[in-house]
Chains A and B, each alone.
Chain A
Amino acid sequence: MALLDYFLRKKEKQVTTASKAKERLQIIVAHERNSRNKQPDYLPQLTEDILAVLRKYIHVSDESFSINLDNKDGDLNVLELNIELHEEKNTE
């Protein structure tokens, strides 16, 4: 039956090692890219809170405000706030 085995084995499509490699790489690379660009969970809430405090004193539009958490050299996190202050007309 060796001959039959030979033909049967040829027929069933085996999962090649190359396709395993591709699958594993796609998963790990996606995971590592995610952690590279990941912003912490608290960032949206922090943004809201900071904006709320600022707006108690000055007018800040959404466009003139940006917040960014950057990872420098792997061990230094920098929280960067950019607020554009427009000269407000004196209404008094």
Chain B
Amino acid sequence: MARIIVVTSGKGGVGKTTSSAAVGLGLALKGHKVVLIDFDIGLRNLDLIMGCERRVVYDFVNVINGEATLNQALIKDKRVSSLSILPASQTRDKDALNKENVGKVLEELGESYDFIVCDSPAGIEAGAMMALYYADEAIVTTNPEVSSVRDSDRILGMLASRSRRAELGLEPIKEHLLLTRYSPKRVEEGEMLSVEDVEDILSIPLLGVIPESQAVLKASNAGEPVILDTESDAGKAYQDVVDRLLGETVEFRFLVAEKKGIFSRMFGG
């Protein structure tokens, strides 16, 4: 049975697609068979972040409508052979997806993949509900900022009431908190909610903390998920996230601001 993981948030622009790409690629690098699905119908972007935008021929909606087979639509990642991407359609009607046809596609994918990572659109509309409906686990991507935290709480409510697991009375979706764009320096200065603050408010287990990092923009510029930038803080933090998803206990890093040494203070390091 494949593990179906939805990367969700409610609020837009918090790093869902960046996180989906990093986590999906990271799991594949560990040797697992992974498929990344872009649920953002009409606003496809996962392909850009993954760097395969020019290889899109068929998309999710084509598969749903029977205009293409799954194998025709799936794009094999050029870096890791065990990773595939199912792109969202760019123009189609977003109401093309429904529980029944999405369920069929996920079931078929589940036969040949270990992980199905669903990149959710922002909001709490039909598209976002579709992305979370079949999930076994949810990565709730949150920025340490008031509107993002509040929206994450809304999404937690949806996970608990609107998912397949909730409707069937099964074991609830396993929730993970992923805090992104974290700036330890601003936290220390009292300008930003701390990890503990957000954990207190949302009270779900912490999966990872991704520091605010220049590496993320560079990665999306290049279409190379940031986890491949193994020297960067964000890349390392995503690596830790992948390890934790696979059951390892990894200490949290990048939670305190780097102390500047006397020399860099004097000469501006």
The residue on A at minimum CB distance from B129 is A73
Contact pattern, B 184-202, Cβ under 8 Å of A = 1, otherwise 0? 0001011111100100111
B168 to chain A, nearest CB (A): 14
How far apart are the CA atoms of A36 and B193 in the complex, in Å? 25
Contact of A18 among B150, B193, B201 (CB under 8 A): B193
Q: Which of B150, B153, B190 is within 8 Å of A19, CB to CB?
A: B190
B: residues with CB less than 8 A from A are 145-146, 149-150, 153-154, 157, 161, 187, 189-194, 197, 200-202
> A-side interface residues toward B, CB under 8 Å?
14, 16-19, 21-22, 24-26, 28-29, 32-33, 36
- Residues of A with C-beta under 8 A to B193: 18, 21-22, 25
B200 touching A22, Cβ below 8 Å: yes
Contact of B191 with A33 in the complex, beta carbons under 8 Å: no
14 CB < 8 A contacts A-B: A16-B190, A18-B193, A18-B197, A19-B190, A21-B145, A22-B200, A22-B201, A25-B149, A25-B150, A26-B201, A29-B202, A33-B157, A36-B157, A36-B161
Q: Note all chain B residues with C-beta closer than 8 A to A33.
A: 153, 157
- Cβ of A16 and Cβ of B153 under 8 Å apart? no
Majority secondary structure, A binding face: helix
Kindly list the 4 A-B residue pairs having the minimum CB-CB distance in the complex, ordered from nearest: A16-B190, A22-B197, A29-B153, A18-B190
Q: How far is the CA of A24 from the CA of B197 in the complex (A)?
A: 12
Partner of B153, one of A21, A22, A24, A32: A32
Beyond the given pairs A21-B145, A22-B200, 14 more chain A to chain B contacts, judged by CB atoms under 8 angstroms and listed by A's residue number, are A16-B190, A18-B190, A18-B191, A21-B193, A22-B197, A24-B146, A25-B146, A25-B193, A29-B149, A29-B150, A29-B153, A32-B153, A33-B157, A36-B157
Q: What is the CB-to-nearest-CB distance from B177 to chain A, in angstroms, rounded to a whole number?
A: 14
CB–CB A28/B187 < 8 A: no
Contact status B153-A18, CB under 8 Å:
no
